[in-house]
Each structure stands twice: as structure tokens, then as C-alpha cells.
Structure 1
Amino acid sequence: MKTALILFADGSEELEAVTVINLLRRGGVTVVFAGLHEGPLRGSRGTVLVPDTTLDDVLDHDYDMVVLPGGQPGTNNLKTDARVLKLVRRMHEADKYVTAICAAPSVLATAGLLDGKHATSFPGSLDPFPKVLREPLAVVEDGKLITSRGPGTAMDFALTLVERLVGHAKRMEVEDGLVR
């Protein structure tokens, strides 16, 4: 069974995190929802979420994919956490899916993963990274790096992640069940 690790920090965008968690689980993916620290975390819009576990507890496990939701100050909290940067680098080096939405592609850029790569993000989030080849699309894939623009593209992003992990037929099954 395919596995995905979703990271969440105080101030992360809850709509993006919950959409990805929900759709991946509908697709049969084992999802681990990990907070940067123990206990409930408050999202960027004030919703309190209770992660399954902490990043420290799962840091050394293997996953097929890692997903970083955006939002502020959540993205900055992810970007300044050495564990997160080390994790995304390790997964990229292992040829696993490394994905981010909204402002969170800047975390991947900070880790050095987007130099010379095609990516998208919330407008302006990648401006400090001139080596990133920015695309104004809902979802951009460059190998196993997958990025998306924001809350409005969360469903397209999540469906793309389902497809990459468990195939086109499963994506269509999940999407049909959403009555989109």
C-alpha cells in the first residue's frame, strides 16, 4: 500500500491539508498526518487540527510521498525547521514524490530542490528564488516534484497526487465520487 506523510505547522492552510488527506485516503493511500510539535495545531484560518503524530515520531520512516500545505505563518514555520528541509532533501534523493502547495513550494526552493525546475505557487511566493522556472498553472509537475497554487487548486492538486500514487483509474473513481 502506498504511503504519504502530510506535514502541518501552526499557521498552515487547513483547507489544503484536509483536502489532500481526505482525497488520498479515498484513494486507498495510507496517510500519516504529522505536526511539527505535539498536540493540536491552529491553522492559518483558526481551525484547530489534531495530527496523528509528531514529525519526530515518524521522521525516520519511509514514505512514497511527502506533502507540504501552504498558508502563513505555517510555510515559514516549515521553511525554518531543519528537520523538514532534511526530510524533503532525503526524499528527493530517494526518488520519492516531494509535493507542496500555495506558499510551501518556497520550502522546496529553500531546500535547493527547485533550481532549474518547473514549479508553481501562490503568486509571489517563489519570487525570491530566481532559478525556479515558474509556471502560472494550477498544478505543475517536474519529475517527482509536484507543486500547486493555493486553496482554490487544492482539489486538482490532491487528485494529481492520488493519480501519481495509485493510478489514473483510482483517480477517476475518487473524482467521480466527489460529483465534481
Structure 2
Amino acid sequence: MASVLVPLAPGCEEIEAVTVIDILRRAGIEVTTAGLASGAVRASRGTVLLPDVTLDEALKKDYDMVVLPGGMPGSEHLNNDSRVIALLQRMAAAGKFVTAICAAPMALHAAGVLHNKRATSYPGVLDELPGSHVYLEDAVVVDGNIATSRGPGTAMDFALTLVELLAGKAKRDAVEAQLQRPKTH
């Protein structure tokens, strides 16, 4: 079974975090949520999230994918956390999936994993950062082992894409059918 780490920072976007966690778990994928510090995490709109473990504890294990929820100031907290940056670099170097949505792709940029990659983000984030990445305005962009998405409104498409990357198109289609969503792909 594939395993995914979702770091939760104070001020993260709850729609993005919870949608990804929920959809991946519906697909039978093991998801570990990890707070940057111990205790509950207050998200950007005041929702309180209770991580499974602390990031330090989570980092004792290997994962097939890391997913960074966006939101502010959550994305800045991820971007400024040396453990997160080192994790992104290790996972990208190992060919594992490194993914982020909304403003969180700024951490992928800071980790140097977007070099010569196509990516997207919330407007005003990646498109304004210097670098060799190619900025696109698509809802979800996958380039090799890097996946990025625009924001809260694209969270469902992003999460379903992550299911497809880890478990295949048939599993994505099965999960999506259970959601009663109109077919969009």
C-alpha cells in the first residue's frame, strides 16, 4: 500500500488539507498527518486539525509521496521549516512524489526541486518567483514526480490526480464515481 505524508502547518488551507487526506484514504492509501509541532493545528479559517503525529516522529519513516497543503501563513511555515525543505529534497532525489497546492509550491521552489519542471500555484506565488521552472495556469500540473495545483477550488481535482499517480486510473475512477462528481477527465 502506498504511503503519504501530509505536513500540517498553522494557517494551512483546511479545504486543501482535508480534501487530500479524505480522498487518498478513500482510495485505500495510507496517509499520515504531521504537525510541525506537537498539538492541534489551527487552519487558515479557524478549523482545528489534530495531526496523527509530529513531523519529527513522521520523519522516522519513508513515504511514497509528500503533499503540502497551501494557505497562508501555513505555506510560509512550510517554506521556512528546514525539515520540510530537506524532506522535499530527499524525496525528489529518490524519485518519490513531491506535491503541493496553492501557495505551498513556494516550498518546492525553495527546495530547488522545480528546476526545469512545469508547475502551477496560487496566482502571485510561483509565477513571481525567479527560476527555471515553467509556470502554467492549469488546475493541476504533473511533471514527472512533481505535482502542483492552484488552490482551494482545485483541491478535489488535485487529490484525485494524486490517487491516480499512486494507485492508477482505475482506482481514481472508482473513487470519483463514489463521490457522485460529474466526469471531468
Bin the TM-score by the shorter chain: over 0.9
Amino acid at match of 1:118: R
Normalising by the residue count of structure 2, what TM-score does the alignment of the two structures yield? 0.96
CA–CA separation in structure 2 for the residues paired with 1:178 and 1:132: 34
Mapped pair 1:53 → 2:57: no
Kindly tell me the number of residue pairs found equivalent between the two proteins: 180
1:84 corresponds in structure 2 to 84
Alignment of 1:80-159 (within 5 A): 80-126=80-126, 127-159=128-160
Contact 1:44 1:73 in 2 (8 A): yes
User: What is the CA–CA distance in structure 2 between the aligned matches of 1:75 and 1:158, rounded to whole Å?
Assistant: 18
- 2:83 alignment partner AA: R
The Cα offsets for residues 99-129 of structure 1, whole Å up to 9 and x where unpaired, read as: 0000001110011111221000000111123
Structure 2 residue 37 is the aligned partner of structure 1 residue 23: no
TM-score (norm 1): 0.98
Show structure 1 runs of 5+ residues with no match.
none
Unaligned runs of at least 5 residues, structure 2:
none
- Whichever residue aligns with residue 109 of structure 2, its letter is A
Distance 2:135 2:60 in 1: 32
Identity over the aligned pairs, expressed in percent?
A: 58
**1:43 and 2:37 aligned:** no
Q: Which amino acid aligns with 1:179?
A: Q
Paired with 1:171 and 1:23, the residues of 2 have a C-alpha distance of 9
| Structure 1 outlier segments of 4+, above 4 Å | none
In the alignment, does 2:68 pair up with 1:68?
A: yes
State the match for 2:6 in structure 1.
6
| Aligned-residue RMSD, C-alpha | 0.7
SS in 2 for 1:163: helix
Aligned partners of 1:28, 1:128: CA distance in 2, in Å? 36
> 2-side partners of 1:162 and 1:24: how far apart?
6
In the TM superposition, 1:162-177 aligns within 5 A as: 162-177=163-178
Q: How far apart are 1:17 and its partner, in Å? A: 0.4
Instruction: Look up the SS of the partner of 1:107 in the other structure.
Output: helix
1:145 counterpart letter in structure 2: I
Task: Supply the distance in 2 between the matched residues of 1:118 and 1:49 (Cα, whole angstroms).
Answer: 31
